[in-house]
Chain A
Amino acid sequence: MTGVGVIHGGWEFVVAAYTVTAVILLGYALSVHWRYRAERARRRREAGREERAR
């Protein structure tokens, strides 16, 4: 049914929505992963320091 009340095209919005979703979800996942690795590395360093202090 063409004409009034029907939206044509609009693929750029669909692409935008899916891109934003992917970027935010994957970006956040990477952020958590990197922060976790950094924290674990920091803990390993501190545990090593403690060992040497004893």
Chain B
Amino acid sequence: MRDYSTRPYALGGLGIALLLWGSTWGLLFAPREAYMGDVQRIMYVHVPTAWNAMLALTFAFACALFFLLRGGWEWDARLEAAIEVGVVLSTLLCMQGAIWAKPTWGVWWDWDPRLTTMAVLLFAFGGILALRQFVDDPVKRAVWSAVAVVIAYVDVPIVYFSVKWWNSLHQMQSSPETVSRAFHWPLRINAFGVLLLVAGLIDLRTRLAALRREGELAAPPVVAERATPAPIGAAGGTP
């Protein structure tokens, strides 16, 4: 589809640069928090990861809707990229959450509604990645994963509220709700850093998906001379 482009690498490089800047600031120069001490510095990567994980999954949802309502293979390629990046970010988020929780609460996991919802999403979207692996027909794969993404994403608020109610008797306030202004800048810089890196990753991963799709849908040279090349619908019977 598209030739080699430097755009994803430019985005990624810029993102990494911002992350290095913001992280250095947050680690070395930002003030120490009153109660959580230096452990709170984890927030400078944890919060940006959280925002961008949700963003990636929301983008996946949008791509799924576009594919189902308008069609077009480019939306399936973007969907595949968004799901994969979303799963990677969700995994990272859960690991960061555990590392943050241990010194703060003494346990690796405390069923914080936000983090637990992310864990459920991780499994849900991870399952959709597995679905894509096990379906050979590209059309079915595209339609089914789009349907599954819509179903999984609609579940997000429901999962969040149910875990919140379920946990409400035992809830310890996990993350600081209000962030004082001294902490804003490194957080913002890192948030943009992750955003640009994620944009670059989704861009590159989309190109990969598009290339693969091209390969799958192109008719083998021998068959091209004959009539219809579509290898679609092979799972069905003979007409």
Contacts and interface: CB of A to CB of B under 8 A. Distances in A.
A38 to B, nearest CB: 9
A32 B208 contact: yes
Nearest to B87: A28
Contacts, number: 90
Name B's interface SS: helix
A14 B42 CA distance: 6
A24 B88 contact: yes
Contacts of B46: 17
Contacts of B150: none
B202 to A, nearest CB: 9
A1 B95 CA distance: 30
A6 B37 contact: yes
Given A7-B39, A53-B221, A16 B103 contact: no
B38 to A, nearest CB: 6
Interface in A2-30: 5-11, 13-14, 16-18, 20-21, 24-25, 28-29
Contact of A35 (B42, B208, B214): B208
B34 A32 contact: no
B88 A16 contact: no
Nearest to A21: B45
A43 B102 contact: no
B45 A10 contact: no
Contacts of B23: 18
Contacts of A18: 23, 27, 42, 45
A40 to B, nearest CB: 7
12 contacts: A1-B34, A7-B103, A13-B103, A14-B27, A18-B23, A20-B95, A20-B96, A21-B96, A25-B194, A32-B201, A36-B204, A43-B215
Given A14-B39, A29-B12, 6 more contacts: A18-B45, A21-B49, A24-B91, A28-B201, A39-B211, A49-B221
Q: Which 3 A-B pairs have the closest CB atoms?
A: A10-B39, A7-B37, A17-B42
Interface of A: 1, 5-11, 13-14, 16-18, 20-21, 24-25, 28-29, 32-33, 35-36, 39-40, 42-43, 46, 49-50, 53-54
